Amino acid sequence: MKKFQGIKLLVLDFDGTLADTLQVILDSMQSTLRVLNLPARSDAQCKAMIGLRLTEIPEHLFPELPGLGPTYAATYREEFAKFNTAGAVPLFPHVMETLHALADRGYMLSIASSRAHETLDKYLRDLQLEDIVTYVVAAEDVSHAKPDPEPVLKTLEHFNLKPQEVLVVGDTDFDILMGRHADCYTCGVTYGNGSRASMLEAGAHVLIDDFSQLLDLL
């Protein structure tokens, strides 16, 4: 397996990489479509939208219906609050122990997510990640979301690091493209919401099937 040299920081996606939010997201999206009387879309079509900003999703699902972004986002947040019950979102296997092992080795850990601070910060508290993750870029912190490199570039500036000192880890082509556009190393996880093919096509330097395999890369 490929070894990365000189890495100081990992920029981690949240949904589908650290935590299994898939069912809550799909339930919320499908409920949103029903509430707004929008045409039906399959779970697979909805899943392909994960990683985009909420306001951007309608233009991909319903390009024939412009201007839905704000209404969709507001309704989704209401529906998400109904489905996001206590314990509904677990960490993926080996995430917690791997993060602690990485921190013990001296690696810095940050998150770049298309999720808003309101829910992301609560997840980090509830899942006991807020003390181990030292920097968070959420949806409202940037003007341009994934796959634009702005979330990573903002993180590089915060830590005063060079692109070659950073490994971006995510589960979709949006994450990989974000990292590649910032000239960073990238690692795709195959257990999340994206596909191996889409991440490889986006230019992932390596793919892993279990989060703990990060320890073998560094």
Q: Is 4 a domain residue?
A: no
d(CA 29, CA 193) in angstroms, rounded, equals 15
| Mean per-residue pLDDT, 195-201 | 97
Domain that holds residue 79: 22-83
Predicted pLDDT of residue 1 = 67
Q: By the 8 A CB rule, do 182 and 149 touch?
A: yes
Mean pLDDT of the chain: 96
Q: Report the domain count for the chain.
A: 2
Would residue 1 count as lying in a domain?
A: no
160 falls within a domain: yes
Tell me the two tokens of residue 76. Answer: 């989704």
158/212 same-domain check: yes
Please give the pLDDT value at position 2: 72
pLDDT in tens, 107-136: 999 999 999 999 999 999 999 999 999 999
> Are 73 and 107 found together in one domain?
no
Q: Taking residues 146-160, what's their average pLDDT?
A: 98
Asked if residue 110 and residue 191 are part of one domain, the reply reads: yes
Say if residue 144 is in the same domain as residue 165.
yes
In the three-class reduction of DSSP (H, G, I as helix; E, B as strand; rest coil), residue 50 is classed as: strand
Give yes or no for a contact between 110 and 12, defined as CB atoms under 8 angstroms apart: yes
Percent of the chain at pLDDT exceeding 70: 100
Would you say residue 2 lies in a domain? no
Q: Are residues 97 and 193 in the same domain?
A: yes
Give the pLDDT confidence of 36-87 residue by residue, as tens digits.
Answer: 999 999 999 999 999 889 999 999 999 999 999 999 999 999 999 999 998 8
Same domain, 78 and 120: no
Which pTM value belongs to this model? 0.93
Assign residue 187 the CATH number of its domain.
3.40.50.1000
Q: List all residues 6 or more positions away from 180 whose beta carbon is below 8 Å from its beta carbon.
A: 186, 202, 203
Q: Is residue 50 part of a domain?
A: yes
What is the rounded distance in angstroms from the CA atom of residue 164 to the CA atom of residue 134? Answer: 20
pLDDT score, position 3: 87
Query: Does any domain span residue 3?
Result: no
For residues 117 and 154, membership in a common domain is answered with yes
Which of 83, 107, 128 terminates a domain? The answer is 83
Query: CATH number, domain at 60?
Result: 1.10.150
Asked if residue 181 has pLDDT above 70, the reply is yes
Are 76 and 184 found together in one domain? no
Please indicate, yes or no, whether residues 65 and 95 belong to a single structural domain of this protein. no
170 within a domain of the structure (yes/no): yes
Over residues 92-115, mean pLDDT: 98
